Amino acid sequence: MHVRRSAGLLSRAAMTRTALVVLVLSAACLPPATAHSQPASRVSPDRIVIKDFGFSPKRLRVAPGTVVTVVNKDTDPHTVTASGSANFDTGRIVPGGSTRFTAPRTHGDYPYRCDFHPFMSGALTVG
Ligand SMILES: [Cu+2]
């Protein structure tokens, strides 16, 4: 039947496309070939460190719903507070302290700032 054959072709095409996307993504996720990759980012990939009134990394990429650890290595208290429609907020993190929050479950870019120091900004990329 004509309709069923078309559907079969379509799903084969879709499968091929999916396989290609998986291949491309796998290649993109491979660690850099240089010997200068940072060991710290491998040990704690889902972590934001606050130091010298700045967030590191400035932009963190995580999977949806990831529990992100925030470490405050400054001598002042800080927060990680979503600037946009997202509602994550660590509240006050004392100097030397750490806390965790759950990243949004929807893919997207989520800028955040410190409630006490609005000039401190960073971004969470979920996806
Ligand atoms: Cu701050």
Same domain? 113 vs 52: yes
Burial class (CB within 10 angstroms; exposed 0-12, middle 13-18, buried 19+) of 17: exposed
37, two tokens: 């990759």
Distance (angstroms) between ligand 1 centre and the Cα of 113 equals: 8
Distance (angstroms) between ligand 1 centre and the Cα of 123 equals: 15
Cα–Cα distances (Å) from 121 to 35, 51, 62, 77, in that order, read: 30, 12, 17, 15
Give 67-123 pLDDT, tens digit per residue.
999 999 999 999 999 998 889 999 999 999 999 999 999 999 999 999 999 999 999
The pLDDT value recorded for residue 44 is 55
Distance (angstroms) between ligand 1 centre and the Cα of 22 equals: 40
- Per the structure, the complete domain to which residue 10 belongs is given by 1-30
Same domain? 52 vs 70: yes
Distance (angstroms) between ligand 1 centre and the Cα of 79 equals: 6
40-47, long-range: CB within 8 Å, 24+ apart, which pairs?
Answer: 44/69, 47/71
CATH number at residue 53: 2.60.40.420
Contact criterion met (CB below 8 Å) for 31 and 15:
no
Give 32-43 pLDDT, tens digit per residue.
444 444 444 444
The pLDDT value recorded for residue 12 is 52
Same domain? 75 vs 94: yes
Distance (angstroms) between ligand 1 centre and the Cα of 69 equals: 16
39, two tokens: 């060991």
Same domain? 9 vs 68: no
Same domain? 54 vs 11: no
